[in-house]
Amino acid sequence: MNIILDVDTGVDDAFALLFAARSPLVNLIGITCVDGNTNLDNVVANTLTVLDAAGAGDIPVARGAARPLLELPSYAEFVHGSDGMVEMQSKDSKRVLDPRTAIELMRDLINASPEPVTLVPIGPLTNIALFLRAFPDAASKLERIVLMGGSASVGNATATAEFNIWHDPEAAAIVFTSGVPITMYGLDVFTDLQMTQDDAKSLIAKGDKTSLFAGTLVDRFIKQMGHDVTLGDYGAVATAIAPQLARTQSLRVVVDTTHGPNRGQTVCDHRSYADIAPESAHTHAPQVDVVLEIDIKAMKDMWIKTITGN
CB-wise, 15 or 135, nearer to ligand BDR? 15
The interface with ligand BDR within residues 17-56 (CB under 6 A) comprises 37
Nearest to 306 by CA among 23, 93, 17: 23
The interface with Ca ion within residues 12-71 (CB under 5 A) comprises 13
Q: What's the min distance (Å) between Cβ of 124 and ligand BDR?
A: 8
Rounded Cα gap, residues 152 and 284, in angstroms: 18
Residue selected from 6, 98, 143, 162 as contacting ligand BDR according to rule CB under 6 A: 162
Greatest extent of the chain over all pairs of C-alpha atoms, in Å = 61
User: Are β-strands 118-121 and 61-63 bridged in parallel, bridged antiparallel, or unpaired?
Assistant: unpaired
By CB under 5 A, tell whether 162 contacts Ca ion: no
Residue selected from 60, 123, 150, 169 as contacting Ca ion according to rule CB under 5 A: 123
Rounded Cα gap, residues 249 and 57, in angstroms: 36
Q: What's the min distance (Å) between Cβ of 75 and Ca ion?
A: 12
Q: What's the min distance (Å) between Cβ of 310 and ligand BDR?
A: 27
Residue selected from 30, 60, 215, 232 as contacting ligand BDR according to rule CB under 6 A: 232
By CB under 6 A, tell whether 121 contacts ligand BDR: no
Yes or no: say if 124 and 8 are a contact pair by the CB < 8 Å rule.
yes
Rounded Cα gap, residues 211 and 198, in angstroms: 14
Q: Which residues contact 112 (CB under 8 A, 6 or more apart)?
A: none
The interface with ligand BDR within residues 53-82 (CB under 6 A) comprises 76, 79
Nearest to 19 by CA among 250, 242, 281: 242
Residue selected from 18, 43, 44, 122 as contacting Ca ion according to rule CB under 5 A: 122
Rounded Cα gap, residues 70 and 167, in angstroms: 10
The interface with Ca ion within residues 228-287 (CB under 5 A) comprises 233
Residue selected from 93, 156, 183, 265 as contacting ligand BDR according to rule CB under 6 A: 156
Let me know how long the chain is.
310
Yes or no: say if 120 and 59 are a contact pair by the CB < 8 Å rule.
no
Q: What's the min distance (Å) between Cβ of 82 and ligand BDR?
A: 15
Using CB under 5 A, list all residues that contact Ca ion. Answer: 8, 10, 13, 122-123, 233
